[in-house]
Amino acid sequence: MRITALNNDLADDVLKLMDLGAPYVKARMPSDYWLYAKLFSSTCPVALLDNNVVGALIAMRSQDDPTEIYIQDVMTHPGYRRRGVAAELISVVRTHAKQWGCRRIYLTSEPENVAAYRTWRSLGFANSVGDYTIKGVQVIKDFKGPGKDRAVFELKVS
Ligand SMILES: CC(C)(COP(=O)(O)OP(=O)(O)OC[C@H]1O[C@@H](n2cnc3c(N)ncnc32)[C@H](O)[C@@H]1OP(=O)(O)O)[C@@H](O)C(=O)NCCC(=O)NCCS
């Protein structure tokens, strides 16, 4: 497996990969992937196997608080799961976070996304304290706006 930074030649394949992510990940618009490749490529690693895109992660370093990196989407092709693809993608972002002196990497998940929950926990993310729990997962009310409750996971960078 080879990891490379998102570029515009890969953007269409990354969009197609994200299209396979329902119900938890949805592809965004082509212009969004142009923007990620243009402005955030170092935090948007893509996993390639035999030149096929098998995984991708979209993240941004905050401008409001540059000590934080927010992961927007992580997706591994359904035929390539449980082979360490997500772990490798997160590790790339973690390396950048350390180089930049960031304090934390965080993301949100649907509380019922068990594969994601197990992945974040296995990679050292902690489930932030929430307002209520669903099946043992802490959920913060209105985290992404009214009615948009989310489970938040964060990885402290040291
Ligand atoms: C969540 C997701 C990205 C994990 O990707 P992955 O490449 O399969 O994950 P990895 O192989 O790196 O797994 C790392 C560890 O996480 C845990 N894990 C991952 N998937 C798991 C599952 N389905 N069940 C239990 N544990 C799991 C394991 O501990 C695994 O290590 P192991 O295989 O050595 O036991 C993948 O399932 C996916 O793309 N799901 C659909 C999209 C999605 O939900 N994205 C997250 C949105 S927030």
Confidence of residue 111 (pLDDT cuts 50, 70, 90): confident
Strand runs labelled E in the chain: 2-5, 45-49, 52-61, 68-76, 104-109, 126-127, 132-134, 137-139, 151-156
Residues 17 and 33 in one domain: yes
Spacing, Cα 8 to ligand 1 middle (Å) = 26
Round to whole Å and give the CA distance between 91 and 132: 30
Q: What total of structural domains would you count in the chain?
A: 2
Q: Is the pLDDT of residue 158 over 90?
A: no
Per-residue pLDDT, averaged over 102-131, amounts to 95
Q: What is the pLDDT of residues 8-37, one digit of tens each?
A: 999 999 999 999 999 999 999 999 999 999
Residues 83 and 116 in one domain: no
Q: Kindly report the pTM of this predicted structure.
A: 0.97
CATH number for position 98 = 3.40.630.30
Task: Assess whether the C-beta atom of 24 lies below 6 angstroms from ligand 1.
Answer: yes
| pLDDT score for 19 | 97
Task: Assess whether the C-beta atom of 56 lies below 6 angstroms from ligand 1.
Answer: no
Residues 89 and 109 in one domain: no
| pLDDT score for 50 | 95
Confidence of residue 125 (pLDDT cuts 50, 70, 90): very high
What is the span of the domain harbouring residue 144?
105-158
Peptide bond into 146 cis (omega under 30): no
Residues 77 and 111 in one domain: no
Q: What is the pLDDT of residues 53-86, one digit of tens each?
A: 999 999 999 999 999 999 999 999 999 999 999 9
Residues 129 and 141 in one domain: yes
Query: Side chain identity at 103, as an amino acid letter?
Result: R
Tell me the average pLDDT of the chain.
96
Round to whole Å and give the CA distance between 16 and 107: 22
